[in-house]
Structure formats: C-alpha cells, structure tokens
Amino acid sequence: MNSSPLEITTLKTNVAPFQNKQSVNTSLISYRFMIFYRFALALIGGYVLASLSAVVIAQYFIEYRASAAMSATLVAFLLHTTAFIWVFMVNKTLKATLGIVVPCLVLFALIRILGN
C-alpha cells in the first residue's frame, strides 16, 4: 500500500482510544433495534394507514364505485410508499411513531363516523 503518513495519521485520530467494548456492543444493539423498529413501523403502520385511507375513500365516494375503488387503491399505494420513506427520514423515532399512529386513529374515527 502506498499511503502517505498524512493519511495514516488522519485515520488514526478518528478512532476513540478508550472505548469500552461493552458500551460499543450496547450502542450497536440499540441502534439495530431502532432500525428494526422503524422498519416494522414503516411496513405494518404504512399498510394500516394505506388500508384505512382506502376504506375511507371508498366509503365517501360510494356512488361512483369504479372510480372510488381505483382512486382508493392509488391513494393507498401512494400513502404506503410515502409512509415508508417518511419513517426513515424523520430524526426522532417518537415523531415517526406518532406520525403513523395519529393519522391511523383519525382515519379509524372517520370510518366509524361514516359507518358501513
């Protein structure tokens, strides 16, 4: 390897000298759990949000059945992909959780109000 001494010293200064192996493992496990939680939230929460929105749209436009089904499907697909992207874009996990759960609760209340 032909690397200059400047590159070697730059690489060595980025390593923390006194890190405990236990604390590194704990922080790595908590980071992986957070990523898994966000993935599950995006997958399951995005699906619930999409399906609830499809039901609300289909119930609201019940007179136009074919148009309601098509638009509900398109909006549901859009919401699911948007929720999946948004969950990983947000900085805080609590904000991501509330951003999925609160609209789901609102849509569930709308379904109850509109009735079957």
13-72 tens-digit pLDDT: 555 555 666 677 788 888 899 999 999 999 999 999 999 999 999 888 888 888 888 999
Please tell me the distance from the alpha carbon of residue 82 to that of residue 53, in angstroms, as a whole number.
Answer: 13
Maximum CA extent, the chain: 75
- Summarised one tens digit per residue, pLDDT across range 78-110 is 999 999 999 999 999 999 999 999 999 999 999
Q: Where are the domains of the chain?
A: 21-114
The rounded distance, in Å, linking the Cα atoms of 93 and 88 is 9
CA distances from 69 to 5, 43, 108 (A): 66, 22, 18
d(C-alpha 108, C-alpha 33), whole Å: 29
0.75 exceeded by the pTM?
no
